[in-house]
């Protein structure tokens, strides 16, 4: 049983440190990802070697079922945010995984039968996803969306997009949403996607004039049309190499966009058109929750957590690549990896 942690709200005091309860170990594995369907079931996937596993929680993240094997995928990308991804809607969940040949494999879970089916691949040109970086999201009407780094045509990374419905075995024709005028977007930073009703928001690290800064674009018609990408924050990061660190974004109940990312080893939060706010030092930052949003990141080998309007910084535990999600009871579930094992905690 996990202990509960409550945090008070404050906007005026300097950040302080607090310690969270003991963690719970789930299984051996890496790169856990979690999604919550409208009925409140949390579904978690992760990789172990070339195997993809799946487990569920039906008690608001307190316990998880015994993990089951979804598939063994030769050359499965695993590590550095390249593991299996999952999104859940009302009646289905979709899982994607990328092999080292640069192909995105797709699987669909029928919630009624709790059975997985392998469906058609996501990228419609073979071998165009060698970086292994993709994010997926779903609305509550069984529509699923994907964004990834794609090198089709000229071997340069671009922002690609596709969609599917829960009952379909295929994905839509791929679309290139953005091509950098400097030939490539940042090559090793995971793009992210957020979906709410008809809104689809994409976020990616660009590479313009030698700067590796984050940009976002939005669609109000389920991805049919996207706005011209805009830069986030006021600062810039001149860098010759790739940071290998994506950011994250959130659409709240009023469709306002919230973003988090790393620049020069520091974590920032910003809304479009506003100055960024420094949260601390670290990398691999994520954000989740329309009720009291929470942000997680890792500083060296320690997972940190901070609520959006709270000054306290909570030490969650040892590890990295933490993924937060909001549960049906509005508490938060945090999953992460540490030394080849998957951990979780409800807060």
User: Is residue 59 scored above 70 in pLDDT?
Assistant: yes
Provide the token pair at 4.
């509960």
Exposure pattern of 312-324 as b/e (b: 16+ CB <10 Å)?
bbbebbebbbbbb
User: Is residue 343 scored above 60 in pLDDT?
Assistant: yes
Under 8 Å between Cβ of 216 and 203:
yes
What is the reported pLDDT for 139? 97
Q: Is residue 4 part of a domain?
A: no
Nearest to 93 by CA among 111, 76, 81: 111
Nearest to 111 by CA among 135, 88, 137: 88
User: pLDDT tens digits for 232-272?
Assistant: 999 999 999 899 999 999 999 999 999 999 999 999 999 99
Task: Specify the CATH number for the domain of residue 318.
Answer: 2.120.10.10
User: Is residue 14 scored above 50 in pLDDT?
Assistant: no
User: Is residue 141 scored above 70 in pLDDT?
Assistant: yes
Q: Is residue 2 part of a domain?
A: no
Domain count, the chain: 1
- As to burial, measured by CB atoms within 10 angstroms (0-12 exposed, 13-18 middle, 19+ buried), residue 170 is middle
Q: Is residue 7 part of a domain?
A: no
Q: Is residue 99 part of a domain?
A: yes
Rounded Cα gap, residues 314 and 17, in angstroms: 6
Q: Is residue 206 part of a domain?
A: yes
Q: Is residue 231 part of a domain?
A: yes
**Residue 85, domain extent:** 16-346
Provide the token pair at 178.
């953005």
Q: Is residue 6 part of a domain?
A: no
User: pLDDT tens digits for 31-41?
Assistant: 999 999 999 99
User: Is residue 342 scored above 50 in pLDDT?
Assistant: yes
Q: Is residue 5 part of a domain?
A: no
**Residue given tokens 């839509």 in the structure block:** 172
User: pLDDT tens digits for 65-116?
Assistant: 999 999 999 999 999 999 999 999 999 999 999 999 999 999 999 999 999 9
Beta strand extents in 101-174 (DSSP E only): 104-110, 115-119, 134-138, 143-150, 158-165
pLDDT confidence tier of residue 22, bands split at 50, 70 and 90: low
SS3 state of residue 66: coil
User: pLDDT tens digits for 165-181?
Assistant: 999 999 999 999 999 99
């Amino acid at each position: 049983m996990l202990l509960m942690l409550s945090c008070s709200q404050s906007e005026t005091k300097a950040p302080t440190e607090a310690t969270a309860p003991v963690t719970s170990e789930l299984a051996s594995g890496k790169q856990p990802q979690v999604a919550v369907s409208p009925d409140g079931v949390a579904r978690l996937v992760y990789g172990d070697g070339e195997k993809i596993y799946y487990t569920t929680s039906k008690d608001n993240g307190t316990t998880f079922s015994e993990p089951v094997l979804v598939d063994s995928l030769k050359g499965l990308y695993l590590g550095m945010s390249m593991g299996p991804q999952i999104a859940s809607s009302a009646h289905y969940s979709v899982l994607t995984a990328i092999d080292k040949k640069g192909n995105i494999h797709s699987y669909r879970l029928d919630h009624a039968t709790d059975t997985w089916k392998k469906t058609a691949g996501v990228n419609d040109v073979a071998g165009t996803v060698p970086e292994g970086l993709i994010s997926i999201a779903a609305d509550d009407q069984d529509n699923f969306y994907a964004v990834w780094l794609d090198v089709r045509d000229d071997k340069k990374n671009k922002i690609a997009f596709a969609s599917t419905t829960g009952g379909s075995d295929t994905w839509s024709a791929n679309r290139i949403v953005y091509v950098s005028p400097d030939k490539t977007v940042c090559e090793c930073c995971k793009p992210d996607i957020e979906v709410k009703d008809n809104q689809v928001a994409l976020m990616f690290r660009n590479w313009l004039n030698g700067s590796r800064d984050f940009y976002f674009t939005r669609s109000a018609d389920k991805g049919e049309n996207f706005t011209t990408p805009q830069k986030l924050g006021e600062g810039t990061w001149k860098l010759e190499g790739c940071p290998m660190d994506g950011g994250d974004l959130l659409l709240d109940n009023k469709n306002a966009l919230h973003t988090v990312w790393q620049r020069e080893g520091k974590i920032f939060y910003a809304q479009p058109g506003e100055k960024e706010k420094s949260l601390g030092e670290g990398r691999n930052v994520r954000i989740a929750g329309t009720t009291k949003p929470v942000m997680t990141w890792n500083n060296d080998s320690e997972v940190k957590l901070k609520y959006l309007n709270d000054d306290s910084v909570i030490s969650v535990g040892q590890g990295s690549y933490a993924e937060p999600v909001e549960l049906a009871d509005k508490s938060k579930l945090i999953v992460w990896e540490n030394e080849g094992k998957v951990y979780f905690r409800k807060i």
